Structures are given as C-alpha cells and as structure tokens.
Structure 1
Amino acid sequence: MMTEPRPLWLVNNASSGSNDDDGLEALHRCCGTHGFRVAQRTTFPAEDLPTPAVLDAAGIDLVAVFAGDGTINTLVTSLAGWGGQVLVLPGGTMNLLFHRLHGEAEMDAVIERVAAGDYSCRRPGMARSPAGDAFAGVLAGPGTSWNQVREAMRDIAVLDVATGVAAALGETVSGDMIACTDPALGRPEGYPLLMLTPTDEGLQVDAYHAEGVGEYLQQGWALMRRNFRDGPHDRLGMVDQVTFASVAGTAFGMLIDGEPSDPAPQATFSLARAEVDLIATAT
C-alpha cells in the first residue's frame, strides 16, 4: 500500500556554499526518491523564515535547512519552542552543525536514513551569550578581521582582497589581544584569536597564536578558508561558562556561527541547550 510523501518546508540561502541550481535540484530529487515532498520553500534572507505558527497552520512538522551555519543558527533560534523537527543539511562551506549531527555521512545517506526512521532527536549543547547563541562555534579577537577578506574572495573583489589582507594582517599583529579571564585560562597577555566550540558536555576553548608575519599570514589564510583549526593553537580546556575580555579594555570583533556580531570589550558564554528538536543520524 502506497504511503503519502511526508511534507517538509525547505529553507535555503542562495549565497551559501552549495546553494546553486544544481545543488537544489539534486536535493529535490533526493527528497522525492525517499518519500519526502517539498511542500513549501523559503529562500532566506530574501524571504521571511517560517514561524512556528505558520508551520503549524500548514500542517508541517519537518523543516529542512540547506544553508550555512549562520542561516541555520537564525532558523533554529527562531523556532525555539516549536513542536516539530529540524533537519540540518550541508548547504554551506564548513557545515559544522551538520557534522555534529550526522558525522561524515553524505547528504543523500542522511535523507535516506531519516526516511527510514533511523534517527534520533537531539537538543545539542550551544554557547549562549548576550550577543547570540552559537551552535557551531565562536571566533573572537582581532584575528576575526580576516573574515572580511574571505567575504571579498567569495565576491571575487580582487582590489578589496588585496586591501583587506594588508588591513587584516596589521590588525592581527598590532590589535589588542584578548584573554580568557573567568576562569583564567592560558596566557594572561592574551591571543589574537580565541575559539569556542560547543559540545554536549561543555564549551571547548582553543587559543590561536602566531609568531612572526609568516605565521600570521598562514593563520589568516586558514581563517579565510575556514580551516582555522589547522592553525597553530593551544587547547585551553572545557568549561561550562567562560568570559573573553580585551587585555586593553577595547572592543573586539566576534563571529558567531560565522556571522559578525557587534564588537564588545568582553563577552561571557555559557553552556545551554537547543530549544527545538534537531534530527541526528550519527550514533
């Protein structure tokens, strides 16, 4: 006896890493093959995200998001308290939350497992702060200025890339360092870049450093490729709460799930839980 395809609401972001027409067509085809029907689609940020009330009125209890970590963050945050499920798909560059939930599986395999009911619902740990919640990670410090170079590279703005590299290198070398102050972790003189990675058990703190212009360029290149974990760094520890503060008391930049937030002289992050069910296929 044939069963009706399960309807889902698809959210994508046309500027994310894999959101070209071919990628979307392949996703639609994969959903159809495995018993899902894309009933509605929202292209963010050109269109407003579906709200819990809109989803309930449409009779839809599954939202699939095919975008980068920043868009995923916005969607998951906006659906706090909703009774349905969110399926995170790898539509960005790094897809960090996707890998937290599904390991190294390919998208087609994840959709097939979900269709077969071979999944669990999780509310993974996140880093909560007044500046916003992070499900994938936080980067903080003068080293985040390399993000502007990465954006110029994505837009193929050659002059902006050249200008940005010079500015980012100067900011990283001479900018005010930031340190972990509460609890006190690592070097009291601080670092050009601190990274916070949320896990279910706590917030993992890593400090990135470089000695000399060559290593700063190496670290900057890693940041632009979002392979910042490859750079020279120290593992400072796992905590439930941590405060990052500028050594000089000046405001520093932050990237929360890859998106810039307002600079501040300090920021406190605490372990919290996602407030909507996320589908996970990794064991």
Structure 2
Amino acid sequence: MRAIAIRSMFLPLIMALSRDHDVIPSMRKTWLIVNIDSGSYDATACDRVGDALAAKGWPCDRVVQFPQDDLPDRAMLEREGVDTIAIYTGDGTINSLASALEGWAGELLVLPGGTLNLLSKKLHGDRSVEDIVADLDGARTVRPPVIRGGGITALVGVIVGPTTVWGEVREQARHLDVSALVETVPNAVSETFGDDSVRLAGAEQGYPALNLTPLEDRIFVQGFLTDNAAQVLSHGFAWLGGDFRNGPHDDLGHHGEVAIEGSGEIGMLYDGERGEIVSGTKFTPGTLDLGLLATDTA
C-alpha cells in the first residue's frame, strides 16, 4: 500500500514529463554557411541570422565563411555529428551545397541571403529570415523536385539559349558596373536578335531561350519571345527586375523528358549559375535526395 501511495504521488509529475517530451525538440548541432564574396553579403545581417537561430534554440556551433572556407561535404558533416545546415546565400551556392550533400541524413535550412532567393521562396514564401525562423517548430521536411542533365542538378530551374547573356547584364547592374554595362547591353541585344535559337527536339519553332521548371515527375517548359523591340525591352526589364521568368513567353507544356537542340555550344543558367550544353542534351525530372526544411504551409 505504501508503494502504491508513493507511485500516486509521483504519477502527475511523470505524466507531465512524458507530455513535455513530445514537444521539446531534441538538441540539434547546427552549422551556418554564409557567402562573404556575395554582392549582397552583410556581416551584420549574418550576425542577426545567427542570433535568430540561437534564440529559437538552434545555436550555430560553427559559421562557414564561403569561399574563404570550403563548403562542407557529407563525410565531414557525418564525422562532426552535424544535424542541420542553415545556409544564408544565393541560389547558386545553395545548389552547389545541396548537390554535393545528396544522401546525407541531416537537413538543410535554406534562408534568403542572395539576390533572387527563388529556392527560399519555394520553401518558405517571400518572407524574412526572422519570420522563417519563428515558424521552425512547425517546419516539415521535403525532398523537392529537380531537373538533371548536362552534368548539373537544378533545384529552381534551367534556362538554355543565347539570351542567358542577360544574366551577366543583371549582375553588372546589381554591382552598378556602368562601364561593363556599356559593353554588355549591346551584346545582349545583338545575341537576342541573332539567328541562333534553341528548340525542343522534334519541334519546328525555335526560341531565343527555353525555361525549364522542375515539377513532380515532369518538366514545365516555356519559350521566351523576343520577336520585336518591345519584347526585347520587356525581357531585359524582367532580367534586371530580378525574375527572368516574367519576360514574354509561350507555355510549351509539361514533359517527362526534354532534349534541347541548337547550334554550337548553348548557353545555360541553372539556379543562377552559368554553364554550357551541346545540342541534343537531355534533361529529366527527379527528386533531390536530401531533406530541406519548409515552413510555407500554402
């Protein structure tokens, strides 16, 4: 009887601890990655990111200052027992890291630390770091659709064609490099109006550029239009305004696989990074083998 009485005394405490155990998150070992060479790098802003994570109970054990520090690889993170990587950079650096970490059991927290922040917007909506971190308790882990082909993996999308030169124009405008713009803008216009075009294999109509967007098991394709001066101007403003996908275009439907045809080496932008492909290169849909934290419930 005495033992029963003692258990009765402690039962409410035991039950309370059991309930709390379900809601108290396990301690995470978190690293933060920032790009100190980015045109939008701000040391004060990076400090605020670290402070916001620490206030949420996710203190950063290490800050990786890329490219001064190498991006961590899967073996390093597993050896160090890292559970979460918070990355506060642009889409290009995020692409490099996520592609290299496929198969890692940890999670990647993408934060808007670049110019366009397209991947962050996909995962969290168009929100600030503070708002994203505030919602981490309800975050879910997703493995987003990607596009693979031409030796790359794209999480946001791929643009192929001569008008990818407008990406260089945008970067120079962002850095207020006026002397470079004087040279680059006429070149961009010339390439836009040039004879070179790209097309889907088997299609008759060519376009100055094709935009490929990853969806579940499909690739959505758009063909950019630059048939006249007004469309070129609109296209240029779309690039300079930040989101190249806002330029005039045709919707070319959803595809299980696409092959790109053109002449010579074809310019390519994938998640903001520049590259090249050859005619006949195939792109296929896939799924990223890495968990990304998402807070957007829409």
Give the C-alpha shift of residue 104 in structure 1.
3.2
Within 2, Cα distance between the matches of 1:200 and 1:20?
35
Match of 2:284 among 258, 270, 282: 270
Within 2, Cα distance between the matches of 1:259 and 1:3?
36
Match of 1:197 among 207, 213, 217: 213
Give the C-alpha shift of residue 44 in structure 1.
1.9
> Which residue of structure 2 lines up, in the alignment, with residue 128 of structure 1?
148
Greater RCO (CA < 8 Å, at least 6 residues apart): 1
Unaligned stretches of 5+ residues in structure 2: 1-19
- Which of structures 1 and 2 has the bigger CA Rg? 2
Match of 1:149 among 157, 165, 169: 169
Match of 2:66 among 37, 44, 49: 44
1:35-94 Cα deviation digits (max 9, x unpaired): 111111112223211112211222211001111111000000111111111111111111
Give the C-alpha shift of residue 8 in structure 1.
0.7
Within 2, Cα distance between the matches of 1:18 and 1:6?
28
> Which residue of structure 2 lines up, in the alignment, with residue 79 of structure 1?
101
Give the C-alpha shift of residue 28 in structure 1.
1.4
Give the C-alpha shift of residue 4 in structure 1.
8.5
Give the C-alpha shift of residue 113 in structure 1.
2.1
The structure in which a higher percent of residues are strand is: 1
Give the C-alpha shift of residue 175 in structure 1.
4.0
Equivalence map 1:1-283=2 (5 Å): 6-16=28-38, 18-114=40-136, 116=137, 118-181=138-201, 184=203, 188-246=204-262, 249-283=263-297
After superposition, the Cα gap between the structure-2 partners of 1:138 and 1:241, relative to the gap in structure 1 and judged at 3 Å, is same
Identity of aligned pairs, percent?
35
The structure in which a higher percent of residues are helix is: 2
Worse-superposed segment, 121-130 or 222-231: 222-231
Kept in 2, the 8 Å contact 1:137–1:195? The answer is yes
Within 1, Cα distance between the matches of 2:172 and 2:41?
18
Kept in 1, the 8 Å contact 2:37–2:66? The answer is no
Unaligned stretches of 5+ residues in structure 1: none
1:220-266 Cα deviation digits (max 9, x unpaired): 231233322221111111112111111xx322100011110124234
Worse-superposed segment, 139-148 or 209-218: 209-218
TM-score, normalising length: structure 1: 0.90
Residue-pair matches, total: 275
TM-score, normalising length: structure 2: 0.86
Kindly report the root-mean-square deviation, in angstroms, between the aligned alpha carbons of the 2 structures. Answer: 2.0
